[in-house]
Structure 1
Amino acid sequence: MIIPVRRFAATCALSALGVALAACGAPGTPQAARPGQPASASAAPSRPPTLAPGPAGLTPVFTNGPRTPDKTVALTFDADMTADEGPRAADGEHFDNPRLIATLRAFKVPATVFMTGRWADEYPEEAKDIGQDPLFEIANHSYSHYAFTDNCYGLPTVPEDRMRADVEQAYTAFKKAGVRNAMPYFRFPGGCYDQKALRTLSSVGVTAVQWDVVSGDAFATDADAVARQVLQGVKPGSVVVMHCTRSAAPTTEEALRTIVPELRKQGYRFVKVSELIGTAAHPDH
């Protein structure tokens, strides 16, 4: 999900919709099924937490966790690669960022990686390595990284009758790479969605995950500016969107070296998205 800072304002209205729908995950409501599982299996304690469907059964949207005194924050990283970018990778462009993953490990920071299926196809060993590390969780960012709405930052558009297949194809790519426990969370490419997309994906059993803090790391050249933007935006329960692609977000790893120690100094605890969703769905637990 590559969004330059100057364009992020266009997604604010969408985030507002996400906040409204996220409220539907109230205590006592049934959880949606994990992709590939029957609805009755979702109540099992071993299943990752998800939000209940929104109005009229729409895919629920999660933007941030509760604003409680427990100062938690989830760092999320989009591992982007669009379906038609294979020739660029063949010419030497790097859509991965092993150094960033190594830094998260060195700092012992849990994180959620929203991965495209095309990225997993290109970097299967890295996908498997991330997926097998309990410090991380892998979630779905579509297979193609094509948009699920029109007019989404110039991305090609997935036809409505291909939306579900695109999400499921990503899960298939993860399994092929050796990722066995991909999470039932989905991030729309570009962060762009509408009622049609939410309705179309309702049968997949995913919770759509947005964010409330944009890092501004996409195409950024100033790591200090990225760090400042994150530190100024984080609140308890925040979801920060960053990127795990060297070519499109070259300063992210450097920015982390400022962000992580400073947030810990402020009393924040880093968590995966699954923990925030679990707290939002069951705030009394």
Structure 2
Amino acid sequence: MITPVRRFIATCALATLGAALAACGAPGTPRAARPAHPASSSATPSHPPTLAPGPAGLTPVFKNGPRTPDKVVALTFDADMTADQGERAADGEHFDNPRLIATLREFKVPATVFMTGRWVDEYPRQARDIGRDPLFEVANHSYSHYAFTDDCYGLPTLPEDKMQADVERAYASFKKAGLPHAMPYFRFPGGCYDQRALRMLSGVGVTAVQWDVVSGDAFATDSDAVARQVIEGVRPGSVVVMHCTRSAAPATEPALLTIVPELREQGYRFVKVSELIGAAAGRR
């Protein structure tokens, strides 16, 4: 397992809570006006860039963009609602975070949102709203948020013969919700993958997207600590993994109020994952 995965899971505190990492939402009521900043190009490519398959056709894995003088960084947000959390949602647990999405819009920050199909089924309007906003791009985080390897920090494990179907089911949920053009990018639940998982997903045609900066926002309550970890970890071409849920990552939105201005002050430009993958693949 790569080091960022270990650091990410460590922030979860209890393995069995990994399944609860959650989610994004629809636009909420904006706070008092914040300064607007120019964003990068937010148009979704008509032919999204992907990486070439690995040896023997294995699903390629993307961790970060080129380390060039161009100071760009991609913020990514995981919408981690698992297949068995319907009762918790029915009881009032919020797996969305409207204020976080509103903050990204106020600051004009492009972002990539990795949604589970189960989350999209629960929040189709929010998913559609995010996916139709050119500031954002939507990518696949599996349908069930079950693990694609054994012993993935307490997550239930998908059988090998169910892996491809689980990813395809998520795309089906996207289409049903009115998101027919989700990006061909996939993030493994828990960040856990192995050669078997990469082989089983080779037929889907996705690029697996990991990260090189762990925000530490899962279950965190100290927004200053989250902001500091991101700011200190970012390098040109970085991919930052974050979450957007009111129940399991309450410090994320307040942390953005520090992260965005500080990184812009350092000369960073926020981009979507597709721009970094395009640069890595030689496309501009």
TM-score range, shorter chain: 0.7 to 0.9
2:130 is aligned with what amino acid? I
Cα deviations by residue, 1:228-249 (Å, 9 ceiling, x for unpaired)? 0000000000000000121110
Residue pair 1:211, 1:240 contacting (<8 A) in 2 also: yes
1:26 is matched with none
1:259 is matched with 259
1:15 is matched with none
SS of the counterpart of 2:113? strand
Are 2:279 and 1:279 equivalent residues in the alignment? Answer: yes
Cα deviations by residue, 1:74-106 (Å, 9 ceiling, x for unpaired)? 000001100000000000000111110000000
CA distance in 2, matches of 1:247, 1:188: 21
2:152 is aligned with what amino acid? C
Cα distance change, pair 134–246 in 1 and its aligned pair in 2 (3 A): same
Moved segments of 4+, more than 4 Å? 1-4
2:124 is matched with 124
Give runs of aligned pairs for residues 60-209 of structure 1, distance below 5 A.
60-209=60-209
1:268 is aligned with what amino acid? Y
CA distance in 2, matches of 1:99, 1:83: 25
| % identity of equivalent residues | 82
2:35 is matched with none
Cα distance change, pair 82–244 in 1 and its aligned pair in 2 (3 A): same
CA distance in 2, matches of 1:273, 1:233: 17
Q: Which runs of 5+ in 2 are unaligned?
A: 14-44
Per the normalisation by structure 2, the TM-score is: 0.85
Give, in angstroms, the shift of residue 5 of structure 1: 3.6
SS of the counterpart of 1:203? coil
Residue pair 1:149, 1:193 contacting (<8 A) in 2 also: yes
CA distance in 2, matches of 1:198, 1:245: 28
Q: Which runs of 5+ in 1 are unaligned?
A: 9-44
2:226 is aligned with what amino acid? V
Residue pair 2:146, 2:157 contacting (<8 A) in 1 also: yes
SS of the counterpart of 1:134? coil
Question: What is the aligned-residue RMSD (CA, Å)?
Answer: 1.7
The alignment covers a number of residue pairs equal to 249
2:242 is matched with 242
CA distance in 1, matches of 2:209, 2:229: 20
SS of the counterpart of 1:87? helix
Residue pair 1:213, 1:238 contacting (<8 A) in 2 also: yes
